[in-house]
A and B are shown apart, each in its own frame.
Chain A
Amino acid sequence: MMSLKEFENRNVSEGAYYKVDIPDYPETGWEKAKQVFSRAIKGELFVGLYIVMREMIKFDIHTVQYPKEKLPIGPRYRAVHEMQRLWESGTERCIGCGLCEKICISDCIRMDTKIDEQSRKQVTEYTINLGRCIFCGYCAEVCPELAIVHGGRYENTSEQRAHYIGYEDMLTPFDMAVKGQVAEYPGFGAITPHEDERVKSTPLAY
């Protein structure tokens, strides 16, 4: 592991360089002929062939069968947004505060809100223009409700560059939420570990 101190040493030439052992390029006709000869006769080709055959027989195939198969991606990867629901109740987490819309550096989030029957703020529509989104993660970071997070869905195909994504597309399905099938998202925008140790409690004298 490198320590910070090593990073701070900007004097990179000090012992940091070493020579790679590369033979000189052939120059004369004789040298060239020698190279061709040695490469052809040495049978490196068969080494490769042998490995492929061996793995084929062992059926230990390393090719990822995309799109049937996908590699797992890191939790901090920032792909297409997801809108979370609360556990158990399944209530949408987004309160419509508009902070994501405000902070969005490429101005691609837009939302409509109104007052609902219970005098609460309701998000009626919410879109992200994925053609403009630079997946910076600011929206997920600013969200006070852990409502908007970056998911792992990185494939986007559309007939148009300005492909909009609507609220419904991003929202966790209701049944998944109530069945407890949504894990708290560990990735970008999630709370940091040990958060509850830092919460200050309100004094209650009653």
Chain B
Amino acid sequence: MVNFKINGRSVTAERGDTIINVARREDIYIPTMCYIEKTSPCASCRLCSVEVEGHDGFVLSCNTPPTEGIHVITDSESLKTERTNIMRMYDVNHPLECGVCDKSGECDLQNKTLEFNVGQQYFSAKDQPRKIENWGLINYDPSLCILCEKCTHVCNEVIGDDALDLLFGGYNSKVIPKNAETLDCTFCGECIAVCPVGALVSSDFQYSANAWELSKIPATCAHCSAGCALEYEVKHAGIDSPGEESIYRVSNNFEYATLCGAGRFGFDFANRASKDEAAFDAALSALQNAEAIRFSSVISNEETMILNGLKAKLGLKLFNEDARHMQTFMNAYANVSGKRHYSATLETLKASDGIIIIGSRIATDNPGVRYATTTAARHNGAKVVYMHPLEDALLQNTVTQFIKYEVGTEEGVLALLAQTLLVGKELTQREQAFFDGLDEGYLNAETNVGDDELALLVKQFMRSKSKTLVVGSDLLAHARAENIAHLVAMIEKYSDFTVLVVPTEVNTLGVSLIADLDIDVASKNVVGYNAKGSFVISALGDGNLNVPALNQQEGTVVSIDKRLLPTNVALSFDGYTLNDLANALGVYAKNTIDYTAALPVESGFQAVEFDSLENFYSAKGADIRGYTLNEVTAKRGGHPEDVDELPEFNGAVIYHVNPVLQFNAFTAKTVQLEKDNNLYGSASFAAAARLGDGDAVAFEYAGETVRRIFKLDDTLKGTVALHPTFDLGLNVTSGYRFEHVNFYERE
């Protein structure tokens, strides 16, 4: 703690605070152009200069920590002159194109130019032609760029792509793709969000609407369990579609939160429909005669409650394998840890300095976890150990150690990991007996994880103070998931690791905490709710009855942070909803959101009405969205069982994983997101499967034939190929993600 004064007021700084942090906390205004809270200071604009009494010259408040007893002055005549001159410099040759610029109305340069009253150009410099770049989803206009470096900082420090660089050349300086001709990145679009001017813009949005015309609808991203806060920006759909609205873009509070490209560019998945009486009646009779309802986890908590109600009323079964795996896993976990929920959140992950990620291709499975990991690595110097059968090029800037294990041997890997991390801990007799009974030689050999690798892992974490174990969906759907959960829970219980389990879909966690699920058996008479069935109720527009998509309804989801997050209606829906069906079947509620306050308290939910849920970040960065689920204690009594014989996956194996920015049939519907559905494999996979680059292949997946083009990818190794499932509509399974396949019918 440091005590000092700003403008005569006594203030205190915490460890790691800079002058500007303290000033902002105290509501003292210091102008900035390049400052962004979530990265290290760019220190390029010098607008944040302040004076310190008794010292000559100015100091930059963004990167100077205060020292005891100093007196900081944030406003004086000389500071004003200095800042005005900076703004005059910024305005030299800045194109007078606010009239068309996308940023107009929310432009920092515009605002500060007015604030410092720069009404004319005082200096001159010979301008040069500057070429507008088109980088796919992003356009860059160097003549608008003020070289604040926010984009490069955020891309490197938060995203981890490190795809942008600043080309220094005096007046010719500009932003360029790093070591590449054109931008080849994961297209999160965060650089667009942070750009204070109109230099980086979405190419789809550019010149289609002005900032002030768009209504912002606060919502929660519907694509993955990170549950990022976003705002759908909505306007009339154009002169030729009177009465209709559409989403023009998605924005976020970039100062404190980060979106991936799926959230930012994949917003057009709304379902348009009108009330179809015949389909509604057909749906009613289908439900009345059905044995079960199968549903996906792309669903709100309230809809899940309705399904529960229908189950009770109609005596149906409820199938959702994805959420059931989560349930099984977390039940087994709770049996050992004594707590219903895992312990970590994305915030604690960001603050970690030691991270193990296991059982997930995390960069594409959950970009939110990836960004938190990148932030931890860049800002806390976190050591990141990535354990998976496949290396991931997207993590290469972040991961400090990659431990490859054999496909299917996750149970053995966890046993070895637990053993390594729990050395010297006081365990129960039974637990001790478990470790004593481990056949390490066998495990090392079968998992292919060596003692030296584990020793290195321990060494890496020697100095780490706050550590997180991130557990992915490969483990949730594993045949031995329960025992794996026991081991994970033991690590949580005895070591100083906190645990973050990555739910597979946007609301897998919510569904697992609410729904009364049954084991999915191949019944004939199943109504699918955004899932496969003999009668399909779908928000994708291809089913027997249309229902609204997640951006067309009010409701809540539970994110990876075990937080209940509200989402809102961005676009209206004119057809029937699940609640209408339920009402007709005697499960009555006036509105779907009437169920929000009735969510099960025993799972940690609170009896809070939907309308009293907030959904924003405060000006100082406090996350005021929904509420965090209460911690619930569970009965202990679980203990690890002996490790089963580890399965072997020989020959050609495919891993069901989606490419960057794709998650499911909803993201597949959107216009801007790339839809690469090729099967990618290494040369050794090609040899094992006897395939050549560009071969058309077919194989069985989820009971149907899938056709793909095989592409050689030299960044991959081993005999596992990457198989996307996002474009298979409702025909996706939630089983173990590695699968042995037989390719047939090669053309």
By a beta-carbon cutoff of 8 Å, the part of chain A in contact with chain B is: 95-99, 101-102, 110-115, 119-122, 125, 127, 144-145, 200, 202-206
Cross-interface CB contact of B100 among A102, A110, A120, A127, cutoff 8 Å: A120
Q: Is the pair A102, B210 in contact by a Cβ cutoff of 8 Å?
A: yes
Q: A114-B207, A127-B239 are in contact. Are A202 and B100 (CB under 8 A)?
A: no
Question: Chain A contacts of B240 at CB under 8 A?
Answer: 112, 125
Given contacts A119-B134, A125-B238, A203-B121, 5 further A-B contacts (CB under 8 A): A96-B207, A97-B210, A98-B213, A102-B212, A119-B132
Q: A97-B99, A119-B139 are in contact. Are A203 and B208 (CB under 8 A)?
A: no
Chain B 131-166: CB-based contact to A (< 8 A → 1; otherwise 0): 010100001010000000000000000000000000
20 A-B pairs (CB sep. < 8 Å): A95-B100, A96-B100, A96-B207, A98-B210, A110-B236, A110-B239, A112-B238, A113-B208, A114-B208, A119-B139, A119-B141, A120-B100, A121-B207, A122-B207, A125-B239, A125-B240, A144-B99, A202-B124, A203-B122, A203-B123
- Between B134, B139, B207, the greatest number of chain A beta carbons within 10 A of the residue's beta carbon is seen for B207
User: How many of chain B's residues touch chain A, expressed as a range?
Assistant: 20 to 34
- Tell me whether A205 and B124 are in contact (CB under 8 A): yes
Binding site for A on B (CB under 8 A): 98-100, 104, 120-124, 126, 132, 134, 139, 141, 203, 206-210, 212-213, 236, 238-240
Give the complex CA separation of A97 and B208 in angstroms. Answer: 11
Determine if A121 and B100 form an interchain contact, defined as CB atoms under 8 angstroms apart.
yes
For the complex, give the distance between the alpha carbons of A206 and B92 in Å. Answer: 14
B122 to chain A: closest residue by CB: A203
A/B pair count, beta carbons within 8 Å: 59
> What 9 pairs between A and B have smallest CB-CB spacing?
A97-B99, A121-B100, A121-B207, A115-B207, A125-B239, A98-B210, A202-B121, A206-B126, A205-B124
Name the residue on A nearest B204 (C-beta).
A115
Nearest chain A CB to B200's CB is how many angstroms away? 14
Asked if B99 and A95 sit within 8 Å, CB to CB, the answer is yes
In the complex, which residues of chain A have a beta carbon less than 8 angstroms from the beta carbon of B238? Answer: 112, 125
A21 to chain B minimum Cβ distance, whole angstroms, is: 62
**In the assembled complex, which residues on chain A have CB atoms less than 8 Å from the CB atom of B99?**
95, 97, 99, 144-145
Known: A98-B210, A119-B132, A119-B139. A112 touches B123 (CB 8 A): no
Complex interface: chain A residues within 8 A of B124 (CB): 202-206
| A102 partner residues in chain B, CB cutoff 8 A | 210, 212-213
A113 to B212 alpha-carbon distance, docked (Å): 15
Q: How far apart are the CA atoms of A114 and B213 in the complex, in Å?
A: 15
> A125-B238, A125-B240, A145-B99 in contact; A113/B122 too (CB < 8 A)?
no
* CB neighbours of A111 from chain B (8 A): 239
A99–B99 CA distance with the chains assembled, in angstroms: 8
What is the minimal beta-carbon distance from B600 to any residue of chain A, in angstroms? 47
Chain A residues closer than 8 Å to B206, beta-carbon distance: 115
Q: Which residue of A lies closest to B210 (CB)?
A: A98
Q: Which residues of A contact B122 (CB under 8 A)?
A: 203
What separation, in Å, do the CA atoms of A200 and B132 have in the docked complex? 29
Given contacts A113-B208, A115-B206, A206-B126, contact A97 B121 (CB under 8 A): no
Interface centre among B104, B203, B238, B239 (most CB of A within 10 A): B239
Task: Compute how far the CA of A101 lies from the CA of B139 in the bound complex, rounded to whole angstroms.
Answer: 26
The smallest C-beta distance from A84 to any residue of chain B, in angstroms, reads 15
Residues of B within 8 A of A122 (CB): 207
**Nearest CB in chain A: distance from B45 CB, A:** 23
B213 to A113, Cβ gap below 8 A?
A: no
By a CB distance below 8 angstroms, the chain B residues around A96 are: 100, 207
Contact residues in B for A119 (Cβ distance below 8 Å): 132, 134, 139, 141
Closest to A145 in B: B99
Chain B residues closer than 8 Å to A203, beta-carbon distance: 121-124
Closest to A126 in B: B239
User: In the complex, what residues of B have CB within 8 A of residue A114's CB?
Assistant: 207-208
**What is the CA–CA distance of A97 and B121 in the complex, to the nearest angstrom?**
23
| Alpha-carbon gap, A77 to B139, bound state (A) | 44
Q: Chain A residues near B132: list those with CB within 8 A.
A: 119
Instruction: Report B172 CB to chain A, min CB distance, Å.
Output: 15
Question: Shortest beta-carbon distance, A118 to chain B, in Å?
Answer: 9
Residues of A within 8 A of B141 (CB): 119
Task: Give the distance to chain B from A65, nearest Cβ to Cβ, in Å.
Answer: 39
Inter-chain CA distance A145–B100, complex, in Å, is: 12
Bound complex: CA A202 to CA B94 (Å): 12
Query: In the assembly, what is the distance between CA of A112 and CA of B209, in Å?
Result: 8
A121 to B95, CA, bound (A): 15
**A98 partner residues in chain B, CB cutoff 8 A:** 210, 212-213
Distance of B401 from chain A, by nearest CB (Å):
45
Tell me if A112 and B207 are in contact (CB < 8 A).
no
CB-CB nearest in chain A for B236:
A110
Instruction: For the complex, give the distance between the alpha carbons of A202 and B127 in Å.
Output: 13
Nearest to A113 among chain B residues (CB) is B207
Q: How far is the CA of A79 from the CA of B126 in the complex (A)?
A: 45
The residue on B at minimum CB distance from A119 is B132
Bound complex: CA A111 to CA B240 (Å): 10
A205 to B100, CA, bound (A): 29
